[in-house]
Structure 1
Amino acid sequence: MWRFNEDLLFLIFEKLKNDKKSLYSCLLVNRTWCVTAVPFLWRNPSQFYYATDNSKNILYNVILLHLSEESRVILKNQGMNNLITETTYQRPLFDYISFWKYLELYILEDVISSKMIEKSNAPILRNEILKLFINKNTKFIQLSIPRYFDYQLHLIPEAKCCFSELGFFHCDVKIDQNILEGLAKICKSIKKITLYITAYDNTDNYGIFKLIEVQKSLNEFCLFDISSSKHESFYKSLEESLIKHADTVQYLRISWNPTTRFLSYFVNLLYLEIHKPYFRNWNDPNNLKNLSLPNLKILKVDYVPLIATVNLIENTTGNLSEISIHCDNVIHYVDCKILIQAIYQNCPNIRYLKLSLDRNLLIPEFENLLISCQFLNGLIINVCKDYEFSWDKLFQILAKSSPISLFKFKFYFKIFKLKDIESFFSSWTNRNPILLKINHSGIKVDQKLVNLIEEYKAKGVIKKYSFGCGMNLNEDFEWI
């Protein structure tokens, strides 16, 4: 009976694994509940790392309590006795480190650097701490390696055991490439790879290409490039490595101008995000022309040439359910019309739409979009040049022609007339209550706007609302 209870609790806690408050409460019920809940709370301690100012020290002390007597002697002999006497030496009731499934090495590096020790002692402390994590008792599903990391993880005897079932891998490309080549020999089941480029030079990146190529079931690849360098040769080699997984990759996020037509191989894509840094020119929009992505459901593009965006939309087969578009600053009136037409003519099942444009929307065409897309559920509109934009006409169209499914709205504005949005609210009676978010350029929210929204909330026109400052280009569509 007790065994059945533990199995049942495990299934329940699996559903609650992201609800830390409830899991904490479960610790206090009885020993069985406590023993079952603790592993879930310690799967990923990194999510609590920055919760409070003291969390860094707390985590560090927990790690110290797990050190073996041999490790403590080594640290004492190196003059680091003050570090290990910060806590009373008493073995924890649980082997917390054995529960870790997400090894975030940037946290360990941060913990080490936070201690005022001599530079020559840092590798010694790092070595003793890593012994706790990379051993026969731990198996990680995610590994994150920070920039400039050079500790040869793969040479640790137990590394193969720890990382053989790795499913998620994150790293900065500026790490020792020998580490990546070594991990490529023992990690072949990674499903998601995330790369960061924060700085770049002409060093050889053979390690990351090798790691990508040897994976057996790569499903998701993301790259975030915030550097100011140009490195087309790196991206050409990266594209060649990714093509080898064209059959399995379904989620792709890129931050570069495609140097080839490599995306044409990814016919099974469900999610495509292209985020071109605004400070880089586009090489050749034709590399995105006439792509056949029949299964694509989500498309997000930032600073991608409009002609390329339109081509992407036109060459789907009606499966797109979410579109997010942020265009260049100069958008011609006719181009706006072509873009909106491409959406409502090719995406009848769209549920979420984000249009981030810098010129006046073609209101009649936008009304056609609302009429044609009857499953639209959420709408985000941003216009930087408010003085050229007719918010009053937009609100009239929304009140008149929005499908019954549409009730989630986000608006980004600089200049806003209270009477315009009041007219919108007053026309929204007897419909699904609105979920509303308003982002504005000012620091302080207009109290008259708050009072107006509260008035219509009391009437049941608005269910929930919130305010923000500025625009988050990567903000999700789902909100409450």
Structure 2
Amino acid sequence: MWYLDKDILFLILEEINNDKKTLYSCLLVNRTWCVAAVPLLWRNPWDSYNFKSLLDVILSYLSEESRNILKNQGINNLIAETYQQPLFNYIDFLKYLDLNFLEKTISSFKIEESKQIIIKNEILKLFCNSNATFIHLSIPRNISNYQLHLITGAERCLSELEFLHCNVDQNGLKDLASICKSIKTLKVDIYYCADNSGIIKLIEVQKNLHDVGFIGIHYDSSQKKINDESFYKSLEESLIKHAGSIQYLKIDWIPITGFLSYLVNLSSLEICNGWNDINYFENLSSPNLKILNVNQVPPKILANLVKNTIGQLTEISISSVDNKMVIQVIYQNCSNLKYLHLSLANNNSLTDSNLFILEIENLLVNCQCLKGLIINTCFAVFRWDQFFMILARSSPVSLFRFKFIFSGTVKLEDLKLFFDKWEDRNPMLLTINNLQCSKMQMEDLIKQYRVRGTIKKCSIDRNFISYQNFDWA
């Protein structure tokens, strides 16, 4: 019965796996609870703020042979002469392996690079020879001094890998492809490399690839952008081989082939670089596309993209919106829209600002499923008072999640009027960024309306940051 209780407890704790504060409290209940909570806490410990303490725990598991290797190299300051391993074998619980952690932590030590490489290799041997089976691996760009796939035990511990973040110029990607064939999510940083065959091979051998993201542009040694069409064409051809499984795609180059037409199950598309070939999208059909995230895409191309989704889009994020036609095409074609993020381009015209605001009202009226709205404006002149009034008057019942990135000064009385008009609606979840007025005054105002039930939750940040899309609690 004890084993059954433990199994049930583990399943319950898995439901709160992301709530580390609660999991830590479970450690103190009794031994059974502690045994169930520790593996969950050590699946992914790399977001710890105390990197040095985490490294100390890892180093305590080094074999006597590894410790002697470090000592023989004169690396005595990182390992204790006498040591006792912790009660649990935490290394065996690891499911995530973030090698950026090693780079960041070990590189901070004031020892020569050759000795840093030795430390990293001994730690990697520890990981690969443990009982851990990794499902998530992040490889930094400058980790090419050694090759993970050559370490004894790597084939076993990486055979079930589902997530990989790597670089196109990473040494050993071809060999990694012989080990890792179950990757579902692949994130690739693109830098100039003379031989790109490794990443192509890695993509081709996967059995169920469904989320692919490419970040960065080819640059040569002088940081001049390289238009390597042959490389991009090879990438696209390798993706076509996964046409039936790819659902999420992020790219930052102008397509060379018509590969997007092959991705019949694509549900999310992110475009990180301005495209200028309107003909490419004229006949492109994406009937299953639900999420669209674009940056610096001309209005006509964007219009074609939206129209060709046949009304299925539920999430849209657009940067550098400089034409009211963009908003028009959204509310004319996206009746099922749930989340919208608009970054309005810089414009000095008060008239243009007013026109955008009027079109947003049309959007609110026509998109009755809208749940969340992010507005980031770089307008030199923007009528936030008018915008808030329209939100209070025309927002559908489902809309109560807002994020505002302000430009210029926002008057507290305008926000107060907005909150007053919002009474008797769903309490709003609010994020305010790049605030120019007094944070203390803003916090006092928010406190009043939280007491009144107008605001459920609000976070305030005076600094400009880029929001992740639609990450409300």
> TM-score when scaled to structure 2?
0.89
Mapping for residues 205-354 of structure 1, pairs under 5 Å = 205-225=196-216, 229-233=225-229, 234-276=231-273, 282-327=275-320, 331=322, 335-336=323-324, 338-354=325-341
Listed as ranges, the gaps of 5+ residues in structure 1 are none
The answer to whether the 8 A contact 1:26-1:37 is kept is yes
**1:304 CA drift (Å):** 1.6
Mapping for residues 177-216 of structure 1, pairs under 5 Å = 179-197=172-190, 200-216=191-207
Question: Aligned residue for 2:398?
Answer: 405
Mapping for residues 421-440 of structure 1, pairs under 5 Å = 421-440=415-434
The CA distance in 2 between the partners of 1:273 and 1:438, in whole Å, is: 25
The CA distance in 2 between the partners of 1:457 and 1:221, in whole Å, is: 41
The answer to whether the 8 A contact 2:439-2:462 is kept is no
**1:450 CA drift (Å):** 4.8
Question: Aligned residue for 2:452?
Answer: 459
The CA distance in 2 between the partners of 1:82 and 1:401, in whole Å, is: 65
Deviations 1:195-228 (A, max 9, x none): 123xx33411110111011101001011221766
Classify 1:159/1:447 alpha carbon distance in 2 versus 1 (closer, same or farther; 3 Å). closer
The answer to whether the 8 A contact 1:222-1:252 is kept is yes
The answer to whether the 8 A contact 1:259-1:287 is kept is no
State the SS of the aligned residue for 1:312.
Answer: helix
**1:453 CA drift (Å):** 4.2
Classify 1:264/1:441 alpha carbon distance in 2 versus 1 (closer, same or farther; 3 Å). farther
The answer to whether the 8 A contact 1:135-1:161 is kept is no
Classify 1:202/1:33 alpha carbon distance in 2 versus 1 (closer, same or farther; 3 Å). closer
One-letter code aligned to 2:267: L
Question: Aligned residue for 2:40?
Answer: 40
Identity score, percent: 56
One-letter code aligned to 2:341: K
One-letter code aligned to 1:230: I
Classify 1:78/1:311 alpha carbon distance in 2 versus 1 (closer, same or farther; 3 Å). same
One-letter code aligned to 2:118: I
The answer to whether the 8 A contact 1:386-1:415 is kept is no
**1:353 CA drift (Å):** 1.3
**1:398 CA drift (Å):** 2.2
The answer to whether the 8 A contact 2:276-2:301 is kept is no
Classify 1:255/1:470 alpha carbon distance in 2 versus 1 (closer, same or farther; 3 Å). farther
State the SS of the aligned residue for 1:148.
Answer: helix
Instruction: Judge which range, 55-64 or 110-119, deviates more.
Output: 110-119
**1:417 CA drift (Å):** 4.0
One-letter code aligned to 2:120: R
Q: CA RMSD in A?
A: 2.4
One-letter code aligned to 2:21: K
Deviations 1:253-305 (A, max 9, x none): 222333333222222112111122xxxx6453433343211111211112122
Mapping for residues 156-175 of structure 1, pairs under 5 Å = 156-175=151-170
One-letter code aligned to 2:290: K
One-letter code aligned to 1:24: Y
Question: Aligned residue for 1:31?
Answer: 31
**1:120 CA drift (Å):** 3.6
Listed as ranges, the gaps of 5+ residues in structure 2 are 346-351
1:59 aligns with 2:54: yes
Classify 1:249/1:474 alpha carbon distance in 2 versus 1 (closer, same or farther; 3 Å). farther
One-letter code aligned to 1:425: F
The answer to whether the 8 A contact 1:263-1:288 is kept is no
